[in-house]
Amino acid sequence: MTTFDFSDVEAFLDCHPDLFEEYLIRKGKCDVVGRWLKEHQPSKVLTAEEKRGVPRDPLWPSNPDGLRRRSSHMELRRNFARSKAAHRTYDEHVSLSEHESQSSMRRRALLRKASSLPPTTAHILSALLESRVNVPQYASSAIDYKYRLKETNEREFFLELVKDISNDLDLTNLSYKILINVCILVDADRCSLFLVEGPAHKRTLVSKFFDVHSGTTVRPSSSTLNSNEVQVPWGKGIIGYVAEHGETVNISNAYEDHRFSDEIDKLTGYKTQSILCMAICNSDGEVIGVVQAINKNPMGTPFTEDDEKVLQMYLPFCGISISNAKLFSESRKEYERSRALLEVVNDLFEEQTDLEKIVRKIMQRALTLLQCERCSVLLLEDIHSHVVKFSKTFELMSPLCNMDHDISMEKLSCSDWLINNSIAELVASTGLPVNISDVCQDPRFDAEADQASGFHIRSVLCVPIWNRTHQIIGVAQILNRLDRKTFNDADQRLFEAFVIFCGLGINNTMMYNQVTKTWAKQSVALDMLSYHATCSKVEVDRLKAAKIPLSGELGIDEFHFNDFSLDNDAMITASLRMFLELGVVQKFKIDYEVLCRWLLTVRKNYRTVAYHNWRHAFNVSQCMFVMITTASFQDVLSDAETLALMVGCLCHDLDHRGTNNAFQAMTDSALALLYGTSATLEHHHFNHAVMILQSEGHNIFANLCSKEYSNMMQLLKQAILSTDLTLHFQRRTKFFDCVLSGEFSWTEEGHREVLRSMLMTASDLGAITRPWKISKQVAELVTSEFFEQGDRERSELKLTPSAIFDRNRKDELPALQLEWIDGICKPLYQALVKLNRKLQPMVDGIDANRRKWQELCSSNQQTHRASVSNQNPETCQSPELRQVAETNQHPEPTKSPKSDENPKSGPSSECDQGRKCDPNTESVDRLTSGQLSVEQSE
């Protein structure tokens, strides 16, 4: 088999062009020819007329067959038609290709950004913006080919015209194809196509292609697309009549019809003779357009009935194609609008720190999305005020506007028309959008302000801007569509949806600014507080030079220490002695001056409340000190644990406000909002301790390495949080079980952590182990502080306080103390004694105090029975009724020396008869379920 190189075949065809032409005619395809025409477009050559400065119509190329008329007449005809139209669209100066290239560059930049940065929500949105809906393009068959088919095969010719428009979804390209095909179909000199636009009550006929000749290029250029648009009122002229009545108009002599206007002919010198005008309907029979054919060829002959019939056969296909193209165009618009809203969201993610920047982006998006001349955003000064007053106003001009304005942000002065815009004020006050198609006819518009501004307003669309709590924070306003049309319902819906996102962005930015200002205020306040809450250098120097007495001289090495024996300064020196005697100062290389400064500052940060003050903190630390030293816990606890426990005792009630956690939650205090309702005050105490440690010259842990420092802070946090009785109830069962079963292990970290928590609670409740006079005085201080909280509950919250907080029930204190001892205190200390016998003096102190409280309780009961007998002697004579009266006395649980816990009820009244309460009894279960306690602070 002989093989040929491509070069040999190409050389043969060059030598025999007739054979190539014959083969192309027989086997060539339309799409191949279309691609050849696209790649071999003739270069522009200046004609003689152009050289003389005569404008050339870009829609009418030179044609040797004489199909092209004089350009000057054509241009005059078009100009006159446009001048007589009701409206003229705005002529965009940026070509479609330039717009597409800029858009493509932006999308590529967004895609690069999305691919090079972490996959956050903003960058995912950027990637989504890359997708586009592309309109399929189909090349039209050659005009000569259509003429040849018309002469040789009418059936193939008609099918070719139908196929030519069947798959084209671009309305511009489709309209051109329809006009050219109609010209060829009825042998018309030229054609025009008018499409119905607008709502039913305001329909108009719009033609972007006026007087199109069959010799015109198929695809129009973007520069002529908008400039050729002509609008005809509904029902006016021949075209309006056909659209309104749906009838076919075939006139052999246009000048004999009263609906025809000869003004265009007079201006252009072109004489219109015959006209064939027919309506285009959709599948529902509604008129969606009108096609007009002028002057049948050869000139002077009228359009025939056959022309009407063949046009009636072809136009239904045109109606289907136009409907499909419109549907596709609407869906594409919706997609572009959704895409624009995504871009708005993307902008909001990228910029939420600067109000002017985000408003600028919003207005730029609005100008592009709604194709208007001017956009304004007005923000209210006070969203809660009934008086509408704008504090900030921004406006942006479109670069496509006729006015010579740069695309720049302007802050308008109070004298400008926008500040006093009554329409914006109306929208801000009512919350309803305002859409004015003609401001001159609307009484709400201020014409004087319009003249003073130098900017002529035709139409206004103004909508409110809402924040996330559905409050109006401002209004957004757009003016004058670029195409000189009015804002329709679709524009209003789109603008309202657009403004929803804008409102969120503006609200977030304003909130960010408020948070920034608040943070600055807090920073200043903390700086002031840290200055005033730290001790003075004079105090530090005095303490540093003072002689520190021994433990025996201070009495801090005894279990029965008198909580009220030392004054404020003596408690500081006693604290120094405890740190020195425990050896932690030398072990952790704590600077002595720093330790002095830290102790003085800690004292200064306790408030002057009745019980949870500096004295209570010192007494708790003394109780811990005596347990560690006297009971030999120092032998089993590490130095770090010892230091953390001592620091935790001194800091465990820092900045206590004299109210418990429940009160913080009920009043929605700042502490509850900051830390939540679980261990609110305990977290605050720990954070306050950290703040003091971080203050300059106060870090007693400064010489610890990173790992030791981290471990120390963890131990300190555990120590302070363990003073929350809720946490104590959760852990004590495990501790009791381990101790009573003999399974407690000093080497297991979990057991050691629980032990540290129990030691903190035992120190916190240590006042119950002191001698009777001291213990009773402490209980009265606790009760006094609780009564003050109860008074606030009654006055501020309008609540009836529980018995422990109600000063009207103070006689119940002994019974409450009995429940407190039997349900909370004694089980804890008994478990500790089981672990370490050297703690027995603490249990002995509890037993002694319990006997005293039992005596007071019995005395109160006798006094109460005597009072009841005096008031109701007959009732008391009955033993049964007396027994019922006694049974109805249900003592409330007592309070602990703290007041940060939620109330918990004490054990049952069996304790009143002196019966011991086992930790596993039902009464203790009521305590652990969180009903009430006495030392309910932490």
Cα–Cα distance between 352 and 237 in angstroms, integer? Answer: 56
Point out the catalytic residue in the list 40, 532, 560, 612.
Answer: 612
- Per the DSSP assignment, residues forming a β-bridge with 377 are 394, 476
Cβ proximity of 296 and 309 under 8 Å: no
What is the total residue count of the chain? Answer: 938
Residue 741: closest CA among 749, 751, 726, 729: 751
Nearest 5°: CA angle at 738, between 735 and 741? 140
Task: Give the residues across from 357 on adjacent strands.
Answer: none
Q: Which two tokens stand for residue 455?
A: 């900017």
How many CA atoms does the CB half-sphere of 925 hold within 13 Å?
A: 3
Cβ neighbours around 898 below 10 Å, total: 30
Count CB atoms within 10 A of the CB of residue 608.
Answer: 7
- Report the C-alpha gap between 585 and 580 in whole angstroms: 6
**93 is annotated as an active-site residue:** no
**What is the residue type of 935?**
E
Side-chain half-sphere CA neighbours of 555 within 13 A: 10
Distance between CA atoms of residues 896 and 846, nearest Å: 14
Cα–Cα distance for residue pair 129/133, rounded to 1 Å: 11
Specify the pairing of strand 275-281 against strand 249-251. Answer: antiparallel
Q: Residue 90 carries which side chain, given as an amino acid letter?
A: Y
Alpha-carbon distance of 387 to 504, in angstroms, equals 23
Long-range CB contacts for residues 913-919, cutoff 8 Å, separation at least 24: 914/854, 916/822, 916/826, 917/822, 917/823, 917/826, 917/827, 918/827, 919/732, 919/733, 919/736, 919/827
> Is the bond preceding 443 in cis, omega lying within 30 degrees of 0?
no
For residue 839, what is the DSSP state?
Answer: G
Q: What is the DSSP letter of 823?
A: I
Structure tokens at 709: 């420092």
Name the residue with tokens 């025409």: 37
Contact 911, 819 (CB under 8 A): yes
Helices (H) and strands (E) in the chain, counts: 38, 12
927 CB-side CA count, 13 A:
35
Here the tokens at position 450 are: 């319009």
Q: Is 606 exposed, middle or buried (0-12, 13-18, 19+ CB in 10 A)?
A: buried
**Residue numbers annotated as active site:** 612
